[in-house]
Chains A and B, each alone.
Chain A
Amino acid sequence: MTRRGPVAQAIYSLFAWTVVLIVAFPLVWMVLTSLKPQFELFTIPPTILPQEPTLEHYARLLNETPFPLYFRNSALIAVGTTMLVVVVATLGAHSLVRFAYPGRRWLAQMVLFTYLLPSVVLIIPLYLLMVWVGVANTLFSLVIAYTTFALPFALWLLRSFMAAIPDELEHAALVDGATRMEAFVDVILPQALPGVISTALFTFILAWNEYLYALVLVNRDDARPLTTGVINMLTSAFNIEWSLLMAASVMMSVPLIVAFAFLQKHLTRGFGAGGVKG
């Protein structure tokens, strides 16, 4: 950190806070709107704080709409994808780093290459594949679809973590009587924990927020996740239920905010480690 004079300091602060406000405003507005009764939304001049704060939209959302079902679907998809990606990516990254086999480097590069394809390109083939396998229109199809684009990034992120763990630790565990799998679980995994947490968070967020695949791959109402479900339920050609939509948005954000709050420390460490080893 370089030292700055008080004027420069003030300018930096002003700039930073401006950016923060610009970013935060829609979020704050979302929360405020969700607490306003419907009639207050379109008053002119607009009110900033709700004059008669109410939780009626939340109650309606939970009791009168399929919101809880969508929420459950999203949770299942996000947790399922996260678990699948973390298991496959940790083992895969370890293999890419530690085991010598022909085509190892090539494999790692091909994995990255798949990540470079725009996801739109893959939707139709994936959909046909799901239909062919017979899992189209299920939560499972979304878990598989999200795994296809979370996995390459996860592999590369974890690869850099795994590469930074000295070989000797694993060898020590082997000499101490551990099997390869035990050495991996007892010694490698705890060392790679920040990477695993970053990977898990990244995957969870991706699976939780995804819209396009959910829109194309699932068109049965009881298998919709929050992203497509809420839009489907609250918007029609004639009307958008703004306050319900805002309440839904708030509730959709809660799991991510909670996860971030707890794991933010690991996440920043994780993204740092991707670039600078050690």
Chain B
Amino acid sequence: MAGVRLEKIHKSFGADAVAVRALDLEIAEREFLSLLGPSGCGKTTTLRMLAGLEQPTSGRIFIGGREVTEVAPGRRDIAMVFQSYALYPHMTVGENIAYPLKKRGVPSAERKAMVARTVDLLQLGPLVDRKPRQLSGGQQQRVALGRAIVRDPAVFLLDEPLSNLDAKLRAHMRAELIQLQKRLGKTMVYVTHDQLEAMTMSDRIAIMNKGELQQLGTPDEIYRRPANRFVAGFVGTPAMNFATGRMTVADGRPAFAGAGLTIPLPPGHPVEGEAGAGGRAVEIGIRPEDVVVGEGPFEGRIRVVEPTGHETIVLFAAGEADLVTRVPGGIALKAGEAVRFRVRAENAHLFDQADGRRLGAAAGH
């Protein structure tokens, strides 16, 4: 068992700077879990506590069923890839990869064989005798991975490992990392602020904000059933449309009214069970793809058209709200034009204005 468990982890720097608050997190063996959130949300601090580079103020950490809260980083059976790669500049690629083995007292012959295997796996053969500064960003990245892989740790910790690469290489390394994780069959904890990385690579994502865990779920759950306003707004590009208003009743059905729009909710909408009416102050959230232009009960005026090739992002004003939608590329729309549109209300989310919680989430929807 090489899962990871964090129990009531709390970390503060000084009196008022709380980095991580009462974090409970369980990561299964062989799972690829991403810690996702904006900068300063506590994700890197969490990873560093897992690595043993930072001591939690309170709480306990288990790796593979063994408590490691007080254990030195080198004895936790983990490997870490740093954002800057942290390759030792005075050592060659081969020496860099061999270093963790050396520190564990692996005999020289065995060490050579293990380094050779890793070098093969990552296709670093021709670079073995080079120094890190003679490598490109992508190559350095692979060496950093190699140094982590070589000693076969129980858990890999990756701190924004792709953020220093250019976009094309990043897409390539993403795919390589996923394959590598499947092949190695290891638990990976991956810190990123890039939702695309988290969505594409993870088995599950833990979204954090201001030191607190916002939601833990599969990429699909995170996207379709965000636990709260923060998660809904953080995940998705372009971001979800929001409008504030109140719950009301239209045609005998619960409906949202605000920003000049009244949107009735269809039968079976998760919000039905939970205080559907009664003037409650709410915020509605609608994904861009759930705003369908062309026909429908609402009218708006196009403000900006952003063609990206295979699709076009359209910003338009409707009532007092600014809405974003995506339409297939090639549809001719111009700024200033009036459009009619409808909303797929069955996919709309309603959030409590007071605490940001998604209505209906408690019922398991």
Q: Which residues does A use to contact B, with CB under 8 Å?
A: 166, 168-169, 171-179, 182, 186-187, 190-191
What A residues does B51 contact at CB under 8 A?
A: 171, 175
In the complex, chain B residues 24-58 whose Cβ is within 8 Å of any chain A Cβ: 48, 51-53
The 10 A-B residue pairs with the shortest CB-CB distance in the complex, in nearest-first order: A177-B103, A177-B74, A176-B100, A172-B86, A168-B86, A190-B90, A174-B73, A175-B80, A168-B82, A175-B73
Asked whether B113 is an interface residue with its Cβ less than 8 Å from the other chain, the reply is: no
In the complex, chain B residues 148-202 whose Cβ is within 8 Å of any chain A Cβ: none
Asked whether B79 is an interface residue with its Cβ less than 8 Å from the other chain, the reply is: yes
- Kindly list 8 other residue pairs between chains A and B, CB separation below 8 angstroms, not including A171-B82, A175-B73, A177-B75: A172-B80, A174-B72, A174-B73, A175-B53, A175-B79, A176-B147, A179-B74, A182-B103
Q: Beta-carbon contacts of B77-92 to A below 8 Å, as 1s and 0s?
A: 0111011101111100
Pair B53/A174 contact, Cβ less than 8 Å: yes
CA distance A116 to B78 in the complex (A): 48
List 26 A-B residue pairs with CB atoms under 8 Å apart, sorted by A's residue number: A166-B86, A168-B82, A168-B83, A169-B86, A169-B88, A169-B89, A172-B80, A172-B82, A172-B86, A172-B87, A172-B88, A173-B88, A173-B99, A174-B74, A175-B51, A175-B52, A175-B73, A175-B74, A176-B79, A176-B100, A177-B74, A177-B100, A177-B103, A178-B103, A186-B88, A186-B99
CA distance A171 to B75 in the complex (A): 13
CA distance A177 to B89 in the complex (A): 18
CA distance A19 to B72 in the complex (A): 58
Q: Which residues does B use to contact A, with CB under 8 Å?
A: 48, 51-53, 72-75, 78-80, 82-84, 86-90, 99-100, 103-104, 147
Given A176-B100, A176-B103: A191 and B53 within 8 A (CB)? Answer: no
Most chain-B CB neighbours within 10 Å: which of A166, A177, A191? A177
CA distance A174 to B84 in the complex (A): 16
* Distance from B76 Cβ to chain A, minimum over Cβ atoms (Å): 8
What A residues does B83 contact at CB under 8 A?
A: 168
What A residues does B90 contact at CB under 8 A?
A: 190-191
Pair A168/B84 contact, Cβ less than 8 Å: yes
What A residues does B89 contact at CB under 8 A?
A: 169, 191
CA distance A184 to B328 in the complex (A): 57
CA distance A177 to B84 in the complex (A): 19
Pair A176/B99 contact, Cβ less than 8 Å: yes
What B residues does A172 contact at CB under 8 A?
A: 80, 82, 86-88, 147
CA distance A166 to B73 in the complex (A): 18
Pair A178/B74 contact, Cβ less than 8 Å: yes
What A residues does B147 contact at CB under 8 A?
A: 172, 176
What A residues does B74 contact at CB under 8 A?
A: 174-179
What B residues does A173 contact at CB under 8 A?
A: 88, 99, 103
What A residues does B80 contact at CB under 8 A?
A: 171-172, 175
Shortest Cβ distance from B105 into A: residue: A177
* Distance from B265 Cβ to chain A, minimum over Cβ atoms (Å): 50
* Distance from A186 Cβ to chain B, minimum over Cβ atoms (Å): 8
CA distance A271 to B33 in the complex (A): 47
What B residues does A179 contact at CB under 8 A?
A: 72, 74
CA distance A148 to B83 in the complex (A): 41
* Distance from B119 Cβ to chain A, minimum over Cβ atoms (Å): 17
CA distance A74 to B137 in the complex (A): 50
CA distance A169 to B104 in the complex (A): 18
Pair A166/B53 contact, Cβ less than 8 Å: no
CA distance A190 to B88 in the complex (A): 9
